[in-house]
Chains A and B, each alone.
Chain A
């Protein structure tokens, strides 16, 4: 079942990106009479690369900063900022990604820059929240054992807390990436090069074939990355000696 899911996902994604012409007979019935069935204004491969680049450019700083903040507020020195940080994260989550994207445009103009900014800002919250939950869930007895073994606070963080929190941290990154992939699609409304371009072109030129092509491809990529992170999380759980949870 799982293997089949991987084969279908990789097959459809790879096929749509590398050999779009193969899908012509499938998409033809949805295209307007005489109109093109395969998106030809840009290669899907280059749009995919650009889409993933937007996500990566935003997610790397997002992960680093959110993790650092979560570590900071769980140290004794940063404890006074914890309530504020949680309130901020909670309020931030009520901001829809589209709103963040739209408000980045007046600041940075059109193109990739506002999109990356929006993805970066929106990506902070899930990673921060999950890292916080992971770090706070480490039992006090475990921390005390580390200390009793003569570990410095830095060693406790690197060798005890971070490995134990890793599955939840990865879960946060997974949520952020799924949201970022989705928001990057909307980024094409502010002229960022992404796969959303194909969907929007289909909507504006009334060509459902384009919509299906772009929609199925972005959907498959999102599910692929989601599943890949699922694997990483399983590995992380196994490494820290936790029982892998029953697949939910």
Chain B
């Protein structure tokens, strides 16, 4: 082929990229809850830098259309994304310099469009490299390090979410601890309870239908409903069982949230354990028996290793689900990032909402990436 073939995906994605500077780059608010006023790149960083940005975007679009090697695309896109974020931080600082102390600057639609497009192209380039576990681990480590450097360097300190964070650093750390306890604590409890349950109902097929039906029924109940309904029995326990109240069990708070998340976690773990055990080839089991392995040794050395990828897949589903659902726990006083989200909704303070949403999504994304890695290492099919 003498004429370079144009990459069709890039051709489509170049449109939002090139259109993005036409949208507002920044939202400027005289105070925390005022409606944002649009500010363009030129108003924030001046014409010389804006010219460089525009030229950079055009060059990037052309390069993407012609460049098909995923590795090169990955490097190029990572560089472009980093430059865009640095410009965002610079623009926020410059806009604040001209304004009153209470003013807030947040990224506007134009920035989000450009950053989102770059991120998608980046992920696509990475997917096209068909990376093995080592490459995935490396990229994940690079991404985490990059975000850490970005946050640590104070490049983005001018943004409104950072301002919101500075006011509530203590509350934020508490919310992080609460969120982790809710999401991972309930997962561990479900694992301890769900694995033996899965094992038991796989051995006794009569139990399979009823147990899985019950767990599906629980999963179907909307989260606030389940959280709320659990308040009633727990309040009764706290009032009537000696020592329960001293152990921290109350109608509202962490206890009902933990139990609700635990109940939601059971279905994926039990169902996948059963499916994984079902899939262990009969010939393998027979061979192990022929070698004289006892039931317990077979379970430990044969069934569990072969079932591990499927159980890890369940763990991934459960953890992502729990991290998301734990936000709802804030409505019944269990803390976590949901506190910021619902406070932010109440005060119509977008920054506060973002202070809750960003770490929740980041935590869910990081967890699912790590789980994907573990699944790949255990020999399973990552998502």
Chain B's nearest CB lies how many Å from the CB of A107? 9
Say whether, besides A96-B327, A96-B360, A189 and B345 are in contact (CB < 8 Å).
yes
Determine if B127 is an interface residue (Cβ-Cβ < 8 Å).
yes
Q: Is the C-beta of B365 less than 8 angstroms from some C-beta in chain A?
A: yes
Give A103 to B220 CA distance when docked, in angstroms. Answer: 25
Residue of B nearest to A80 (CB): B8
Question: What CA separation (Å) do A189 and B223 show in the bound complex?
Answer: 14
B271: chain A residues at CB < 8 Å are: 248
On whether the beta carbons of A93 and B345 are closer than 8 Å, the reply is no
Closest A residue to B212 by beta carbon equals A248
The count of residues in chain A whose C-beta lies closer than 8 Å to any C-beta of chain B is 47
Q: Does A182 contact B (CB under 8 A)?
A: yes
Chain B residues, Cβ within 8 Å of A134: none
The majority secondary structure among interface residues of chain A is helix
Q: Mark the stretch among A15-23, A36-44, A161-169, A206-214 that contacts chain B.
A: A206-214
- Measured between beta carbons, the chain B residues less than 8 angstroms from A247 are 209, 213
Q: Contact check, A203 vs B123: say whether CB atoms are below 8 A apart.
A: no
Residues 214-246 (chain B) with a chain A CB within 8 angstroms: 216-217, 219-226, 228-229, 231-232, 235
Q: Using Cβ atoms and an 8 Å threshold, which residues of chain A touch B120?
A: 84, 87-88
The CA-CA distance from A248 to B12 in the complex, in Å, is: 43
A203 touches B332 (CB 8 A): yes
Does B361 count as interface, using CB distance less than 8 angstroms?
yes
Q: In the complex, which residues 101-130 of chain A have their Cβ closer than 8 Å to any Cβ of chain B?
A: 102-103, 105-106, 110
Assess whether B128 is in contact with A83, with CB atoms less than 8 Å apart.
yes
Instruction: Report whether B360 and A208 are in contact in the complex, using a CB–CB cutoff of 8 Å.
Output: no
Chain B residues with Cβ below 8 Å from A208 are 231-232, 235, 251
Given A98-B324, A103-B353, A203-B332, A185 contacting B222 (CB threshold 8 A): yes
A83 touches B127 (CB 8 A): yes
- Contact residue among A83, A91, A214 (Cβ-Cβ distance under 8 Å from B365): A91
Judge if B162 is at the interface, Cβ distance under 8 Å: no
Residue numbers in A under 8 Å from B252 (CB-CB): 203
The smallest C-beta distance from A226 to any residue of chain B, in angstroms, reads 5
B361 and A102 within 8 A (CB):
no
24 A-B residue contacts at CB 8 Å?
Answer: A80-B9, A84-B120, A86-B127, A91-B123, A94-B324, A94-B364, A94-B365, A96-B364, A98-B327, A98-B338, A99-B341, A105-B345, A186-B223, A200-B331, A203-B228, A208-B232, A211-B231, A212-B228, A212-B232, A215-B229, A216-B225, A218-B221, A219-B220, A223-B220
